[in-house]
Amino acid sequence: MLENDIERILVSETEIIKIAKRLGKQITKDYQGKKPVLIGLLKGCLPFLAELIKHIDLYCEIELMGVQSYHGGTESTGNVKITKDLDVSVEGRDVIMVEDIVDTGRTITGVLDLLKYRGATSVEVVTLLDKPEGRVKVLTPKYIGTTIPKEFVVGYGLDYQEFYRNLPYVGILKQQVYKK
């Protein structure tokens, strides 16, 4: 049913699993001897976080944080609001933030600054998708799944008006969906 709303698939489920394996392996290598805390940004991070952690062979913790930047539409408003704060302290911790997509970079830089202010030893970003053409803030995530053009995408955690997060791939919506 949902697939009827999709114009075309941009990143398939097979490709996403391959990406998670590659990034998980890289993180495992880079954090040898450390116990990082992975902080997923709700809600979009969930499918990618779940896949990624299967491929990280470290003593790592998983935490979640709620941040809102888009308010149901397809353009960033630039307002970063914390809707669910962390339950743990990040002081002295190596933090890896897990994102579905980095577009303007406002969400991630807002959270990055906050975690550094709270005393994290290091903060890096792992994102499934990167849309560098949309960037407003200077930011290059250390771990990037794949780079995509400046198009609005849904699936694998990414939503349009809270729907489509459950699609097992990343795709572009048909224009007519926005007119509904």
Positions annotated as catalytic residues are 103
Distance in angstroms (rounded) separating the CA atoms of residues 56 and 23: 8
Per CB under 6 A, 127 contacts ligand IMP = no
* Cα angle 62, 103, 19; round to 5: 55
Question: Diameter of the chain by CA atoms?
Answer: 52
CB of 153 to ligand IMP, least distance (A): 4
Per CB under 6 A, 99 contacts ligand IMP = yes
Give strand pairing partners of 123: 95
Per CB under 6 A, 165 contacts ligand IMP = no
What is the Cβ-side half-sphere exposure of residue 52, based on CA atoms within 13 angstroms?
A: 30
Residue choice 39, 123, 158, 167 for contact with ligand IMP (CB under 6 A): 158
Distance in angstroms (rounded) separating the CA atoms of residues 12 and 20: 12
Which stretch in 1-9, 49-57, 99-107, 112-120 sits in contact with ligand IMP by CB under 6 A?
Answer: 99-107
Give the nearer residue to ligand IMP in terms of CB position, either 119 or 149: 149
Give strand pairing partners of 40: 64, 98
Tokens 């630039």 appear where?
78
CB of 11 to ligand IMP, least distance (A): 12
Per CB under 6 A, 130 contacts ligand IMP = no
CB of 160 to ligand IMP, least distance (A): 7
Total residue count of the chain as it appears in this document: 180
Q: Interface mask (CB under 6 A) for ligand IMP, residues 2-21, using x and -?
A: --------------------
List, in order, residues 6 or more apart from 131 with CB less than 8 Å away. 101, 102, 103, 147, 148, 149, 150, 151
Which stretch in 3-11, 16-24, 68-76, 87-95 sits in contact with ligand IMP by CB under 6 A?
Answer: 68-76
Residue choice 56, 100, 115, 120 for contact with ligand IMP (CB under 6 A): 100
Give the nearer residue to ligand IMP in terms of CB position, either 31 or 130: 130
Distance in angstroms (rounded) separating the CA atoms of residues 139 and 109: 7
> Could you list the residues that contact ligand IMP (CB under 6 A)?
44, 69-70, 76, 99-108, 152-154, 158-159
